[in-house]
Amino acid sequence: MGESQLKVLVVGGGPAGMMAAGQAAAAGASVTLLERNDRLGKKLAITGKGRGNVTNDADVEEIIAQFPGNGTFLYGPIYRFTNDDVRRFFAELGVPTVVERGGRVFPKSQKASDLVQAMERFLVKTGVRVQKGERVTRLSVAGGSVVGVKCGEKEITADAVILATGGASYPATGSTGDGYRLAEKAGHAVVKPRPALVPLEVAEKWVPELTGLALKNVSARVLVEGRLAAEEFGEMLFTHYGVSGPIILTLSREATGALNRGKKTQIQINLKPALTPQQLDARLVRDFDKYSRKQFKNSLDDLLPQKLIEPVVRLSGISGDVPVNQITKQQRIKLAETLTALTLNVTAMRPLREAIVTAGGVNVKEIDPATMESKLVKNLYFAGELIDVDGNTGGYNLQAAFSTGFVAGISAGKQE
């Protein structure tokens, strides 16, 4: 293509940036990827607890529904590069995937690092030049069109620029909000970033004793001023400050919204959601028969993880030393209530830097979803978490990153 070849700069080497760079190059452009870290895909490498929850097996409508707020913006991009396309893309790069509970899709190898290496192979295959340790400080705009970027004192010219710098969560991975500043300086409105999927802090002093305890197959609900606001089923985790894990992160959106409005916010955990009240009572009767000669505190080993026994005994109001065969029906009912409505008072959300996903970002009204081009600055494109769309846990946010990256890359690489 020689002199007429389009020059595209991609700022940010996360999943959206790498996808955009490779697609722009595949479309025929000369592409340079600028990454401020010393390696690509730092955040991708830790996604899904290092296992790489790359997308979700749900249909497109359901994926869109997992993005409260601006999900409809993603219709075009996700239909153009679907979850099936993501799986095919990685399979062709040597990373087959498997579907797990809740439709979550992971590499068969269970290693997120394999996804990063596959994307790096994609960049090599498509001929993208990668420059690491490059921090973009400004977009160069002339006559309403982007003409390049500044890295400190250095000017790099381009026919198109794709911003894919990530949000403001996990700053250690390089997502420190640079993209918001670049977009604002170029005239874009940025919806103030806030934590979207974030662990919660609670008041209960016994919770830190459970640090590291993961619970599976439990349900948790958010109560706002005592009224049910949201409920999720799955896995959660106790931490030194409160609670985390997939269902808590999904519920955190509702909980943080209520906290920000100054409302009393609680998380209520049902440790035995699969049992009806009658079934749970029958289970307790069975366990108490089995351990009838033991003290109450020594009778719950079949029912609860070791770490949870002492707090549950305390919260039930039954003395731990009472012989099991002396526990009354009323006390048994109180114990069942404790097991199905373990209530925690939420005091705060963890800071933005610990959020898995950032809400807020470049206003979607200023981006054309058909091309991901800015409506304000010609030849400027956006991709990934920098945009004001954020989804629940389950692989949805990575799907959005790949889909928006795909559309931005092809559009920038093929500029008419």
- Per-residue pLDDT tens for 98-130? 999 889 999 999 999 999 999 999 999 999 999
According to DSSP, the β-strands at 342-349 and 265-270 are: antiparallel
The pLDDT of residue 50 is 86
Highest mean predicted confidence (pLDDT) among 164-178, 220-234, 248-262: 220-234
Output the average pLDDT for the chain: 92
**295: pLDDT strictly greater than 80:** yes
Same domain for 23 and 89?
yes
**276: pLDDT strictly greater than 80:** yes
Same domain for 162 and 307?
no
Cα–Cα nearest to 324, from 352, 294, 360, 280: 294
Pull the structure tokens for residue 325: 């065969």
Pull the structure tokens for residue 334: 């109180």
Same domain for 244 and 368?
no
Q: Any idea what the CATH number is for the domain that residue 271 is in?
A: 1.10.8.50
Higher-pLDDT residue of 88 and 101 is: 88
Q: Which of 297, 318, 349 is the last residue of a domain?
A: 349
The pLDDT of residue 383 is 97
* pLDDT band, residue 42 (cuts 50/70/90): confident
For residue 288, the number of C-alpha atoms closer than 13 Å in the C-beta half-sphere is 19
Same domain for 320 and 380?
no
Q: Any idea what the CATH number is for the domain that residue 98 is in?
A: 3.50.50.60
Sequence-ordered alpha helix ranges (H) in 208-260:
246-260
266 and 258 Cβ atoms separated by less than 8 Å: no
Same domain for 163 and 223?
no
The pLDDT of residue 1 is 40
Helix (H) or strand (E) holding 56: strand 55-56
What is the average per-residue pLDDT within 241-269? Answer: 92
Q: Which of 297, 332, 349 is the last residue of a domain?
A: 349
Same domain for 67 and 176?
yes
**175: pLDDT strictly greater than 70:** no
Phi then psi for residue 260, to 5 deg, are -65, -25
Same domain for 312 and 369?
no
The pLDDT of residue 357 is 74
Predicted TM-score (pTM) of this structure: 0.80
What is the average per-residue pLDDT within 274-285? Answer: 94
Same domain for 188 and 170?
yes
Same domain for 297 and 397?
no
CA 139 to chain CA centroid, nearest Å: 28
What is the average per-residue pLDDT within 303-326? Answer: 94
Same domain for 106 and 212?
no
Same domain for 35 and 129?
yes
Same domain for 220 and 89?
no
Q: For the chain, what is the domain count?
A: 2
Pull the structure tokens for residue 324: 């099991």
Q: Which of 349, 364, 388 is the last residue of a domain?
A: 349
Cα separation, 55 vs 99, in Å, equals 9
The pLDDT of residue 101 is 86
* Number of separate helices (H) and strands (E) present in the chain: 11, 21
The pLDDT of residue 168 is 60
Please give the residue range of the domain that contains residue 324. Answer: 199-349
Helix (H, G, I), strand (E, B) or coil at 266: strand
